[in-house]
Amino acid sequence: MRKLKSLLIVIMVFISITSLMAQTRTIEGKVTSLENGSPISDVTVKLKGANTISTTNADGVYSISVDAKSTETLIFNHLNFEEMEVVAIGKSQLDISLTSNIRYNQYGQVVNRIPLESEARDGIITFESKDKSFKFWTDIRLNIDFTKHFDNYNNDISTTGNDADAIQLSDGGHIRRARIAFKSQISEKWYGEVDFDFRDLEVDINDLYLKYSANDNLDFKIGHFREPFGMMTNTTSRYVTFMERPLSSEMDPSRHVGIGANYSHPRFASGIGLFSDVAYGVAEKDVRRKQRTGAESSWAVTGRLMGYALNKEHLTLGIGVGGSYRTPQITDEGFNTVRVRVNDENRTSQKRFLDTDAVTNVKKIILANAEVAFAYNSFRLQGEYKIMTLDRGQIYSDINYTGQNINDAKYNGYYIEVAYFLFGDKQNFNYADGEFTRVNPKSKRGTIELAARYSTINLNDEKAAVFGGEGKISTIGVTYWAKTNVRIIINGAYVDHDKYASTKYNWSVPEKGFDYMWVATRFEIDF
């Protein structure tokens, strides 16, 4: 009996050992690089859900024990390779290849990577790192315009020859803007932007600059960007109330190469910059040729200051001034010349009835601007008054080189506009930049904005013998904001010119001048 019990015990122990051996097995294998097939050492091999860990040797070989109670899922991990999970049920041999997570730049140098997450924000696709230190997005803007003119001026103007055809205004449609911008918050302090415009089948660079934010109030720019002068000019076209900026904005400086600084405060916004004009309308080689003759590039110092008497969420009152001191840029019309030409706030027709032609012997240009912005809930008002002075100094005789004073040329203009949202919406005001910006419709069906504007510009200066004409435009507008980045604009305008408008044409204009009307529609989308 005793021998039988001993035998039974031995059998039971044997069965237990056999069962245990059956539930536990060893998985072996080799880990190599997917790129070149070379073995990878120091790869951590872990049994998922357990503390069992193994490591590959110099030949990339590993060995690890698993039991039936485990998930039999192995996790392979290495600092320089992508982590991999592999189910190894029933396997005793498992060879794998890992994908390298090392990335190189265009110079073959190893670079750090930042995983990005993408999402649509107000219809704009944005890529951003988890820690929000890096952000990248594109900004595409498309404006399509349609215009019908009612040219009553033909009844006022007497023409000869073919000049009657030369003054006709064009109806129809065109692509006003087709822009794509690449914008990036490179780090907490650095921001970069490049903006291209493809209108009229030509490519122009609008913005190309870097911005450094020293703190929440102070930032610096370098590159090609708008000069800080007036509220209307500094407001992006996507937030301008009407289809085009007013007549007087044609005197404003636009985008130029320079360096600038902006400082904001709850009570004021300010900006200043040093700029160098580029020679628009002149081929690069021609500009260089003229510069080799000794003509200097144009330089400008431009600044703006807007103070806030009221800066509450529902109530805004800002009053500002701007100024610019500049030398004339090189143009295709020669040195030290300045020409101001003005569209009638509609770009379907490229006709410019207001034109000073080339004013010569200009030594420097002085611009001054005064502005006001007011908003109360859904109501908004803004206006600006501008003066341009062309300082012509003295002209010297070729005979005796004696100086003779010539009269400066002075132009002026202003606008005032009001707007009102029908359904309780409003246009936000950016206090840091001193401009009206985003509209966020409360309703999914959008909102409607009604607006009216009166603008004028006077390019006549009798003392300087400059007669570029005077124009006055009264405009009414209805805008349907379908979304923040989708709107339909309808504008109707009455245009009134004096007798000096477009004197280069062979026509006779009565003392009262001439007038006409137009109606236009714009379809605008940003994404």
110 located within any domain: no
* Residue 260 shares a structural domain with residue 341: yes
Residue 172 three-state SS: strand
Last residue of a domain, one of 104, 132, 157: 104
Q: Which of 321, 317, 288, 318 is nearest to 305 (CA)?
A: 321
CATH number for the domain that contains residue 518? 2.40.160.10
Is the pLDDT at 431 greater than 80? The verdict is: yes
pLDDT band at 280 (very low <50, low <70, confident <90, very high): very low
C-alpha distances in Å from residue 121, one per residue of 125, 258, 425:
6, 32, 20
* Residue 307 shares a structural domain with residue 385: yes
Looking at per-residue pLDDT, the higher value among 225 and 201 belongs to 225
13 located within any domain: yes
Percentage, residues of the chain above pLDDT 70? 83
CA dist 383 and 56 (Å) reads: 74
CATH number for the domain that contains residue 21? 2.60.40.1120
Percentage, residues of the chain above pLDDT 90? 59
Going by the DSSP 8-state scheme, the letter that residue 371 receives in this structure is E
| Close Cβ partners of 207 (under 8 Å, ≥ 6 residues apart) | 181, 193, 194, 195, 223, 224, 225, 226, 255
26 located within any domain: yes
* Residue 94 shares a structural domain with residue 123: no
The tokens 């089948």 sit on which residue? 201
397 located within any domain: yes
CA dist 514 and 495 (Å) reads: 9
* Residue 360 shares a structural domain with residue 295: yes
496 located within any domain: yes
The count of domains in the chain is: 2
In 3-state terms the chain splits into helix, strand, coil percentages (rounded to 5) of: 10, 55, 35
C-alpha distances in Å from residue 151, one per residue of 45, 257, 494, 514:
82, 40, 11, 10
- Please state the rounded mean pLDDT for residues 288-296: 47
Domain limits for position 271 = 116-526
* Residue 141 shares a structural domain with residue 53: no
* Residue 9 shares a structural domain with residue 137: no
* Residue 197 shares a structural domain with residue 328: yes
* Residue 165 shares a structural domain with residue 67: no
* Residue 122 shares a structural domain with residue 99: no
pTM for the whole thing? Answer: 0.79
404 located within any domain: yes
CA dist 75 and 62 (Å) reads: 12
pLDDT tens digits along 101-158: 888 877 878 887 778 889 988 778 899 988 888 999 999 999 999 999 987 766 666 6
Strand partners, 116: 129
What is the amino acid identity at position 216?
A: D
* Residue 163 shares a structural domain with residue 98: no
Last residue of a domain, one of 58, 76, 104: 104
CA dist 31 and 54 (Å) reads: 12
* Residue 202 shares a structural domain with residue 57: no
pLDDT reported for residue 156: 67
224 located within any domain: yes
Last residue of a domain, one of 56, 83, 104: 104
pLDDT reported for residue 286: 46
pLDDT reported for residue 505: 63
What tokens appear for 40 in the block?
């990878």
109 located within any domain: no
CA dist 473 and 454 (Å) reads: 6
> Residue 163 phi/psi, 5° resolution?
-70, -25
- Please state the rounded mean pLDDT for residues 66-81: 83
Q: Which of 344, 342, 351, 291 is nearest to 520 (CA)?
A: 344
* Residue 149 shares a structural domain with residue 97: no
What is the amino acid identity at position 13?
A: V
